[in-house]
Amino acid sequence: MISALRPAGAVLAGIAAWALCLVVLGLLGLGGRVGPHPGNAALMPPLPAVTLDTVGARLGPASEYLEVGNRPLFSRDRRPAPMTADTGSAQVPLEVNLTSVLITSGLKLAIVQNISDGASRRVRLGDVLEGTAWRLVQLEPRRAVFEGPEGQRDLALRVFDGAGGQAPTAQAAAGGAAAVPPGATAANKPDVPAPPGAMAADGSTTAGTASAPAAVAPVTPEEQVEAIRRRIEARRAMRAAEAAAEQAASEKANR
């Protein structure tokens, strides 16, 4: 019967027989007389004696390290570099304009522009402006306070005043009259009425002559913003037209 078993079955049968023998031996008292080792101090190894010695500071006095400073290791001639006070930056005046202010929960930053060369520099709150001895000590949304050799300087945020930009496109008059182009006169444009004080063809002034030119109405901030918006839209339209022309030319060339 055993010869008829497969190899796996024979292995399992052997393991079952071995387990059965262990159970029988356990029931008969196998290992019942095994107990703990009797307490005997003579058989225990002695514990090593530990003694603590007083150890002083490993670092010696500061006088022993003077030679480290007198002969620096990374110096070419093993001599300390001379220390000179930088008095040049202390004499630089604060000639800047406050152009931008950035205030967040983790950053307070001001951007200033040098009046002489127009260069922009960034300075954090509490830091010194590069190239000067002026420190940013206070920052508000439209105000920055610098402290330096001459005391404190209060800088206000520079805003756009409408000057220096491109003039807006001339609009038609309220009555529907077209604007007269440069170089044209009332003599060669009979449909355009000549303004008071204009010079006639014979050299005489027209009726209603005024010695001073007509006063120009001041431009309001809203009109300035509207003019800037129109110029931006015109530039965007011009760029879009250029991009469309370039794309059409490239497609034509690929064909």
DSSP E strands: which ranges in 88-188? 96-103, 108-114, 120-124, 135-140, 143-148, 151-156
Q: What are phi and psi of 127, to 5 degrees?
A: -95, 165
* Alpha-carbon distances of 190 from 74, 172, 199, rounded to whole Å: 90, 17, 14
pLDDT at 188: 44
96-103 vs 108-114, strand pairing mode = antiparallel
pLDDT at 8: 81
Helices (H) and strands (E) in the chain, counts: 3, 6
Which amino acid is present at 67? E
Q: What share of the chain in percent tops pLDDT 90? A: 16
Collapsing DSSP states into helix, strand and coil, what is residue 87? coil
d(CA 221, CA 223): 5
- What's the average model confidence in pLDDT over 228-254? 88
What domains does the chain contain, in order, with CATH numbers? 89-156 (2.30.30.830)
d(CA 109, CA 123): 6
pLDDT digits (tens, 9 = 90+) for 19-37: 999 888 888 877 777 777 7
Q: Which residues contact 16 (CB under 8 A, 6 or more apart)?
A: none
CB-based contact 101:139 (threshold 8 Å):
yes
pLDDT digits (tens, 9 = 90+) for 50-96: 888 888 777 877 788 888 888 888 888 888 776 655 555 667 788 89
Q: What are phi and psi of 209, to 5 degrees?
A: -65, 135
Q: Which two tokens stand for residue 152?
A: 């404190």
pLDDT digits (tens, 9 = 90+) for 176-235: 444 444 444 444 444 444 444 444 444 444 444 444 445 566 778 788 888 888 999 998
